[in-house]
Structure 1
Amino acid sequence: KNTKCIIANGVVIDPKELIEEIKSLEKLGVKVKGRLFISPRAHIVHHYHKILDGIFDEAKGDYKTATTRRGNGPVHADKVSYYGIKLNDLLNKKIYPRKINEILKIKKRIIKEFGGSSLNKVKFVDEYTNYGRKLKPFIGNTFKILNNAVDNGHDVLFEGAHGIFLDNDWGTYPYVTASSILPSNIGAGAGVNPKKIDKTIGVVRVYLTRVDTGACPMPTEIKGKLANFIREKANEFGATTGRPRRIGWLDLVQIRFAAKLCGLSELAVTKADILTGFKSIPVCIGYIYKGKRIDYLDVDTEELREVKPIYKEFKGWHEDISKIVKYNKLPNNCKEYFEFIERFTSVKIKIISVGPENNQTILKS
């Protein structure tokens, strides 16, 4: 009840969706006013961003990046090309109409060229200034709120938006997201100096997943009946699109690289219960490319398609672990699996989830 939720400057906001979320929480009796604070510097997703998201992705043909088409890429593109609109702009009766007029001159031409429908300036001004009015009560100085909380010793949790290999710089480009999602980007995205962060937790499934068309290379990908079995058992379908996620064996080459890149202090390993019943469990411990053993950074995205994974096989376990709450009660084969991950990545596992509920969590010392 005392928790504050911050939407910082580095977040891009779909105001319509956010307003609906606020309404749904209030209907459930959750007090939002005075607990939700939004940075006025956050950039705003408009309808044309979503249209362009689809147009640009379709234009790539067989090499689509499988965007969610919610406008994230185009809104970030506008941000860095000086055409972005911030939340604060929606409240300015002079600035917003002028900015949207300048932007629509360009967007209309692109959308028309690809056969899209026309955009109405008046409708945009009316609709988005109305969104601004509804969100105004939640606007706050998030920089001050966050830094005061950190400096006064309060618990502050920053949540990453995506997996590390969707990072715009270090991921499998171009099959990535629109921004940097590393923990070090907290400085730019929230205004808190990364030196103040005392713990960085890497969240890792016991297998890999990815939502796309299949264009992005995934060296440990599992296909066929086994992939379908894991997908159904673990309910691995995209939260936004509903599309089935691709499934792969755990790739410790990538996990080790991510640990070094992010300076991970500990790991939280999830979905351990999904592996129950497997006779053996392969884990990727290296790559072979053109006959030579290589690391993740030794090849680019296209060359990653030709990489062959090197697997280490672990004996599986058949015991039901979904009700276990203490690490020492786990089957020996299960513990061997986790302890190898720790040795390979040089990062200790502190949290293991053995089911979807909060109480299905093992805290490992």
Structure 2
Amino acid sequence: MPGIVIVGVQWGDEGKGKATDLLGERTEWVVKFNGGNNAGHTVVIGDEKYALHLLPSGILSPGVNPVIGNGVVVDLGVLFEELEALDSRGIDTSRLRISSSAHVITHYHRTLDKVQERFLGKRQIGTTGRGIGPAYADKINRMGIRIQDLFDESILRQKVEGALDQKNHLLTKLFNRRAIEVDEIVEDLLSYVERIRPMVADTSLVLNEALDRGEVVVFEGGQATMLDIDHGTYPFVTSSTATAAGAASGSGVGPNRLDRIVGIVKAYTTRVGAGPFPTELEGEEADWLREQGHEYGVTTGRARRVGWYDAPITRYATRINGVTDLVMTKLDTLTGLERIPVCVAYEVNGERVDEVPINQSDFHHAKPILEEHPGWTEDITGVRDFADLPQTAQDYVLALEEMSGTRISVIGVGPGREQVIVRHDLVD
């Protein structure tokens, strides 16, 4: 079973880095196939905590070959900051490979991201301002800059000139900002050429050859299903394909090479940025859950919106992705609650709706229909066998498994690499 895809099934921040790290010791390759540095993974190894934004989490596992696929947009400054930070802590980063077809985030992408978001006012999407959306827009408009363009200064300059011919009009005439000089961008990008050259490869060929040899390749998605450009809560979504289908297009392997789809889900729900969120909590309940779960963005530090587990969303994501296994994280966060509500359906216009509404307006106004489950008070962070969990914690997991449409194979009971309960092997 060589091809394993890891995707978030909520709105991101589910703990995909932990799942990738769990698999990392048993795989040869870990591939990031979408997104950029607009999301972060936190991985805890012993007493050490690592926050990754652009790099695949597998870079922390000795012997694993990390790959940034063609579906990723790369901020070169962030890339080398992360690499230098890991190098300084003794992490071997020499195996990193980057697709020559991955697109580059430039200074003008970051500038446009910030000014366009401010321009939207109350209609803001809630972007991170990292330039991800504008970079993907240039990619679709066929005016983007790819990693391979850095090695031909003439082509690079032509592409930058073409992009700035349009963007400077927007910056100066609509947003009242200064024009950006072509030389400024070209010189910045060229400054990375020699450092990145050894990392660039035909990663599609490399990965297909690895799969042909029977090596295990883990495809690590950024963001999550409900932020997918097609299947998420549009327009409050990211700019890339964050579902399992994106693993094939974003890495250059055929979909028939993807053998297992692992969905990551929290024992409750969180979201960053604007958009509908039926189970969202406010006030003291929200504050308690946020503090218990340390729900602050790895990349931005923003406080996450928090709410109860949403079973219809998990069923939807399971269907969209073809999820074969769920990894449930942060079960320990719920310790201490007397009763734990779970959203089993919605009320829309006075009627019960059991699945995610197809109409965005209906979803925005959906009210959760909650079912309460008994909680537990025992510390579960040291538990490693499902049978050793408090009975009410076992019942909670089994109830969510039945509602969600697929088995819960792994349960996270703490932030550490070793703090997991494995019910079913993800590789076998």
Question: What is the TM-score normalised by the length of structure 1?
Answer: 0.97
Kindly state the Cα deviation for residue 346 of structure 1 after the two structures are TM-superposed: 2.3
Distance in structure 1 (CA, Å) of the matches to 2:285 and 2:228: 29
Q: Which position in structure 2 is the counterpart of 1:349?
A: 408
Matched residue, 1:92: 152
Counterpart selection for 1:226 from 272, 285, 300: 285
Aligned to 2:107: 47
1:133 alignment partner, SS class: helix
**Does the 8 A contact of 1:287 with 1:294 survive in 2?**
yes
Q: Helix, strand or coil for the counterpart of 1:50?
A: helix
Give the distance between the partners of 1:39 and 1:298, measured in 2 at CA.
Answer: 38
- Which amino acid in the other structure matches residue 224 of structure 1? G
The offset of 1:180, in angstroms, is 1.1
The answer to whether structure 1 residue 309 and structure 2 residue 368 are counterparts is yes
Contact 2:357–2:363 (Cα < 8 Å) also in 1: no
CA apart distance, 1:297: 4.5
Q: Which residue of 2 aligns with 1:147?
A: 208
CA contact (8 A) 2:270 2:305 kept: yes
Counterpart in 1 of 2:90?
29
C-alpha change, 1:304 and 1:334, in structure 2 (3 Å) is: same
CA distance in 1: counterparts of 2:141 and 2:235, whole angstroms: 19
CA–CA distance in structure 1, aligned partners of residues 283 and 371 of structure 2: 21
Distance 1:237 1:115 in 2: 33
Q: CA deviation at 1:155?
A: 1.4
SS in 2 for 1:100: helix
Higher relative contact order, structure no. (Cα contacts within 8 Å, ≥ 6 residues apart) = 2
- Quick one: distance in 1 between partners of 2:129 and 2:220? 22
**Contact 2:113-2:131 at 8 Å conserved across structures:** yes
What is the alpha-carbon distance in structure 1 between the residues aligned to residue 203 and residue 176 of structure 2? 41
Within the candidate set 409, 417, 420, 1:358 is matched to 417
Q: Quick check: 1:280 aligned with 2:339? A: yes
In 2: Cα distance, 1:151 partner to 1:135 partner: 27
Identity percentage of aligned residues: 37
Equivalent AA in structure 1 for residue 68 of structure 2: I
For the residues of structure 1 that align with 2:361 and 2:296, how far apart are their CA atoms?
A: 26
* 2:230 alignment counterpart: 169
CA RMSD of aligned residues (A): 1.2
Name 2:271's counterpart in structure 1: 210
2:315 is the counterpart of 1:238: no
The match for 1:159 is 220
User: Are 1:293 and 2:337 an aligned pair?
Assistant: no
Offset of residue 302 of structure 1? 2.5
Counterpart CA distance in 2 for 1:297 and 1:23 is 43
1:67-82 alignment, distance < 5 Å: 67-82=127-142
Structure 1 residue matching 2:328: 3-state secondary structure: strand
Q: Distance in 2 between matches of 1:299 and 1:148?
A: 40
1:114 aligns with 2:175: yes
Q: Which has the larger radius of gyration?
A: 1
Q: Residue 268 of structure 1 aligns with which residue? A: 327
**TM-score of the pair, normalised by structure 2:** 0.83
Q: Distance in 1 between matches of 2:319 and 2:210?
A: 28
Which residue of structure 1 aligns with residue 187 of structure 2?
A: 126
Residue type at the aligned position of 2:120: K
SS at structure 2 position matched to 1:61: helix
CA distance in 2, matches of 1:279, 1:244: 25
Counterpart of 1:317 in 2: which secondary structure?
coil
Separation in 2, partners of 1:208, 1:50? 29
Structure 2 distance, partners of 1:254, 1:296, is: 8
1:132 CA drift (Å) = 2.5
Indicate yes or no: 2:219 matched with 1:196. no
Q: Greater CA deviation, 115-124 or 172-181?
A: 115-124
Counterpart check, 1:255 vs 2:314 = yes
Deviations 1:30-61 (A, max 9, x none): 3323x110011000000111111112211221
Q: CA deviation at 1:239?
A: 1.2
Q: Residue 230 of structure 1 aligns to a residue in which SS?
A: helix
Q: Which runs of 5+ in 1 are unaligned?
A: none
